[in-house]
Amino acid sequence: MNSKTVLMMDVDTGIKMLGSAKIPNCIPLCRTVNESKLIGVTLTPDEITDLEGDYVTLELEAAGPREKLYFDPSKTKCAIVTCGGLCPGINDVIRSVVMEAYHNYNVASVVGVQFGLRGFIPEYHHDFVELTPASVSDIHQFGGTTLGSSRGHQPAEDIVDALERSNINVLFMIGGDGTMKAAKGIVAEIERRNQKIAVIGIPKTIDNDINLVTKSFGFDTAVEKATEAIRCAHVEAVGMQNGIGLVKLMGRESGFIAAQATLALKEVNFVLVPEQPFTMRGEGGLMPSLERRLRERGHAVIVCAEGAGQELCRAQGKADASGNPVLGDICQVIRDEIRLYFTEKNTEYGLKFIDPSYIIRSVPANANDRIYCGFLGQNAVHAAMAGKTGMVVSMLQNRMVHIPLEIVTAKRQKLNVNSAYWRSVLESTGQEDFCRTCTM
């Protein structure tokens, strides 16, 4: 493992190598990145919720093509797998990996693993599919993933067995926190067997909650589509006496989409996120604050992340196939509470509820996300061909870098409710008093 300097933080940012890279890189139209080049990244409390002190500086490898390759492209077989929920841009990343691998490295083969990690397990009977520039030429025009996806744990031993049987040299894993943890297990099993198979993660989460990833692909598109739903909720609300528009957005543990969409449209009066507890009644409660808003302005718009207010929901104690807690329906709790509260007050109101979640997850990526997906795919191939493994390629503060799997899986990234960013959200909505009171 390369030794990297870490300043003010006891974290090893070195990237694992399969061995010495000795093959000259003949990639056209490009200058290579010096292997020893490190990028110093300074992170503040706005970016790290539990940071002790004013800032922390990490030194990370710069992404990009290297002067020497570990794998001989003419003998290299790559595989791509997509896991977890859908997200705008997955097909763009697949296409970028295939185009880079074939056109710039002339690799022998790229195969697609169907329906997530299940595609490695013989009992599911999912064949690998050959991916070529022709077969992926227009997949970026469509949402979802052309390879299919699935959730749930599959044994690392079985996956590595499949990699060995198929003579796969490089595995690209596109997925979120659970997928990156699975990638870590696969890397450990490969090392245990002393095999030379590279595993490169490409972080995918529409919630933007992967540690040290400034922005995950698909996030821009999700915010853009979310603002359309909020706009509709606002139109509905102003069209009724005491109209209330309630919009449910993605965000199991992190409220980034809800916060960013709120800032984008400026029509939201209350934004509820998992990181910010709230109460329904009493001083500082949502219902009295909503009542006051309706009395003063005659309408209100509430944006609620799906993971907000779970302390107010009936706990189910269950987990989904990926190990995530099954969430209570906070929006149903809010709707029931609105009905009870305003009935008690003998106040007429109208409520329109919009849940655009599955529409947002399934649409094609917008222009900004497509560009980002292109960078991710290209740099993932560069890293793999140089023999790097156990890492993700990502953008951190507008710089493409390599981050070890150990760091990105250490914790979930959360919105810092003590940050200047969250303060801007509160100023946009005007809910400062509501939030300040319910956190005392």
- Given a contact cutoff of 8 angstroms between Cβ atoms, the answer to whether 13 and 62 are in contact is no
207 tagged catalytic:
yes
What does the alpha-carbon distance between residue 415 and residue 418 come to, in Å, rounded to a whole number?
A: 9
- DSSP characters for 242-254? TEEEEEEE--SS-
Nearest to 384 by CA among 62, 32, 97: 97
The residues, any chain, with a CB within 8 Å of residue 266's CB and separated by 6 or more, are: 428
- Given a contact cutoff of 8 angstroms between Cβ atoms, the answer to whether 357 and 74 are in contact is no
Question: Position of tokens 């992926």?
Answer: 136
What does the alpha-carbon distance between residue 207 and residue 261 come to, in Å, rounded to a whole number?
A: 12
Sign (positive or negative) of CA dihedral 220, 300, 303, 360 = negative
The span from the first CA to the last CA of the chain, in angstroms, equals 47
Between vectors from CA 86 to CA 84 and to CA 88, what angle results, nearest 5°? 135
Q: How is residue 320 written in tokens?
A: 């989904």
The residues, any chain, with a CB within 8 Å of residue 427's CB and separated by 6 or more, are: none
Q: Which listed residue (54, 72, 138, 207) is catalytic?
A: 207
What does the alpha-carbon distance between residue 249 and residue 246 come to, in Å, rounded to a whole number?
A: 10
C-alpha dihedral, 397 to 401 to 404 to 409, nearest 10°: 40
What does the alpha-carbon distance between residue 41 and residue 403 come to, in Å, rounded to a whole number?
A: 12
- Given a contact cutoff of 8 angstroms between Cβ atoms, the answer to whether 200 and 187 are in contact is no
What does the alpha-carbon distance between residue 138 and residue 132 come to, in Å, rounded to a whole number?
A: 12
- Given a contact cutoff of 8 angstroms between Cβ atoms, the answer to whether 245 and 334 are in contact is no
What does the alpha-carbon distance between residue 356 and residue 293 come to, in Å, rounded to a whole number?
A: 25
> 432 burial class (0-12, 13-18, 19+ CB within 10 angstroms)?
exposed
The residues, any chain, with a CB within 8 Å of residue 272's CB and separated by 6 or more, are: 255, 258, 278, 286, 302, 303, 304, 305, 308, 309, 330
Question: Catalytic residues, which ones?
Answer: 207
